[in-house]
Amino acid sequence: MQLVARATELSPETHFFIENSVSENSRRAYLSDLREFELSGGSIPASPDTLAEHLAQNAGRLSVATLVRRLASISKAHEARGLPNPTRSALVRATLRGIKRTYGCAQHQAKPLLLTELIQVLDATGDRPKDLRDRALLLVGFAGALRRSELVGLNRDHAEHVRQGVILHLLRSKSDQEARGQKIGIPHGRGRWCPIAALEAWLAISGISEGPIFRPINRHGRVHDCRLSGEAVGEIVRERVSAAGLDPSGYSGHSLRAGLATSASQVGVPTGKIRAQTRHASDAMLARYVRDGALFSQNAAGALL
């Protein structure tokens, strides 16, 4: 199944670039949504009636966020083929609005790993190679507000050591789909747990001089040549949180990024400075972290009770 139907007048080269106009993850999500839509009896092109019925049949079974994403995939398929877009019809919009009012549309968010909790987690680590790797992963991921794909995508030559710390060179990320490149400063830590020291300790014991920085380790302590998967980051976060005596429920690979943003908000870092590190496109995208971090800052009830 292809997101964009091959047209006879398009060359293979043109078709290749059209297919690569979205990230691999986005393309997989689009194709999965279209496959599910077709398995339920839908097809492209779709009528507004068919699409509204599809939404109604899946309301409650699928989350509102999943339904919204599925609509986006179906919309993309129609627009890429130059077809009338049924997702813009009043019928489909009214159906989705009714589902949101019925089931709510609060987005599930990863629980942030706050600085105080991160320190507790780090204090519970040991001195095995796996401990050193995980400490470096947690600290670099937190300090850089990195997405899990960015974290596992780091290579040895992406980390440039400078006097103030390390500059991470991201070749591609969710917020940089055209691969212009982004730089993130990771400063030396002032407390016991320094991200630069943790990274250097891991690189020294692993002997990594090129290729992926974060790699799987077998039960005998052997470091593999391949890179960790994005899913492994979430597993490491939950495993380490649990080992520190905390409930791992709600934590994921995104908890490091959310933790930096929320923790910075709690200590009064301006949103512009937070956004410079997280690389959110706007304050609106950052708002949920800032809002959660400021819940008890200058709290009206706290001033009275």
Per-position DSSP letters for 96-113, written without gaps between them: HHHHHHHH--PPP-PPP-
- 254 labelled catalytic: yes
In the set 70, 135, 257, 279, the catalytic residue is 257
Reported as a pLDDT band with limits 50, 70 and 90, residue 79 is confident
Element (H, E) at 261: helix 255-266
Q: What tokens appear for 260 in the block?
A: 């930096």
- 161 labelled catalytic: no
pLDDT of residue 108: 63
- 130 labelled catalytic: no
Res. 298: pLDDT tops 50: yes
pLDDT of residue 6: 45
Cβ density class 40-72: b for 16+ within 10 Å, e for less: eebebebebebbbbbbeebbeebbbeebbbbbe
Q: Is this structure's pTM higher than 0.75?
A: no
Domains of the chain, earliest start first: 12-103 (1.10.150.130), 115-293 (1.10.443.10)
Residue type, 2: Q
| Residue of 189, 180, 210 lying closest to 140 (CA atoms) | 189
Q: What span, in angstroms and rounded, lies between the C-alpha atoms of 109 and 23?
A: 22
In the set 133, 147, 215, 279, the catalytic residue is 147
Backbone angles phi, psi at 84, to 5 degrees: -55, 135
Reported as a pLDDT band with limits 50, 70 and 90, residue 13 is low
pLDDT of residue 7: 43
Strongest mean pLDDT among 49-63, 77-91, 128-142, 272-286: 128-142
Q: Are 144 and 168 in contact (CB under 8 A)?
A: yes
Q: Are 258 and 114 in contact (CB under 8 A)?
A: no
Between 7 and 208, residue with greater pLDDT? 208
Q: How many CB atoms lie within 10 A of CB 14?
A: 12
Return the half-sphere exposure (C-beta side, CA atoms, 13 A cut-off) of residue 221: 9
- 174 labelled catalytic: yes
Between 6 and 205, residue with greater pLDDT? 205
> What is the maximum span of the chain, computed from C-alpha positions, in angstroms?
72
- 280 labelled catalytic: yes
- Mean pLDDT, residues 211-239 taken together: 94
Q: Is 220 helix (H, G, I), strand (E, B) or coil?
A: coil
Say which range, 35-44, 45-54, 111-120, has the weakest mean pLDDT: 35-44
The answer for residues whose C-beta is within 8 angstroms of residue 152's C-beta and 6 or more apart is 212, 214, 227, 228, 229, 230, 232, 233
In the set 28, 161, 174, 180, the catalytic residue is 174
Between 16 and 142, residue with greater pLDDT? 142
pLDDT of residue 11: 58
Give the pLDDT confidence of 196-222 residue by residue, as tens digits.
999 999 999 999 999 999 999 998 889
Reported as a pLDDT band with limits 50, 70 and 90, residue 139 is very high
Q: Are 281 and 272 in contact (CB under 8 A)?
A: no
pLDDT of residue 159: 94
pLDDT of residue 63: 87
Q: What tokens appear for 50 in the block?
A: 């068919």
| Residue of 205, 202, 171, 200 lying closest to 188 (CA atoms) | 200
- 158 labelled catalytic: no
**In whole numbers, what is the pLDDT of the chain averaged over residues?**
86
Say which range, 34-38, 63-67, 158-162, 176-180, has the weakest mean pLDDT: 176-180
Between 292 and 207, residue with greater pLDDT? 207
